[in-house]
Amino acid sequence: MIFIRKTAWLFLLALILFASGCRCQRNAYDALLAMMENTVNEAGPGVVLYTNGPQSGEQVFARGVADQERNMAVRTVNHFRIGGLTKAYISTLVLQ
């Protein structure tokens, strides 16, 4: 439950930072990457975040490891399963 809550906050922060057209993008990137590092350290093992804003365009960030046995880093081109997490997001969009 804590992981889902942190994921939701991370998603919300990304929307706020990139959808609002933040002028200080470097500070926003640093804050976002720091939050991703904290999420990996506390909830591990890896995080991939995709954003798409009118001024910043498409951006993909990755932190952590994709394979813990081989200690392979997460890359932005990795495929990953998100399971049932998207059901709540999609149903909210449909109901709006």
Whether the pLDDT of residue 74 is over 70: the answer is yes
pLDDT band at 3 (very low <50, low <70, confident <90, very high): low
**What is the model's pLDDT at position 80?**
66
User: What is the residue whose two structure tokens read 């798409």?
Assistant: 52
Q: Check if the beta carbon of residue 64 is closer than 8 Å to that of residue 78.
A: no
Please tell me the pTM assigned to this model: 0.55
Q: Check if the beta carbon of residue 49 is closer than 8 Å to that of residue 75.
A: no
Residue 23 belongs to what domain range?
Answer: 2-95
**What is the model's pLDDT at position 92?**
83
How many independent structural domains does the chain possess?
1
Return all residues near 25 (Cβ < 8 A) that are at least 6 apart: 56
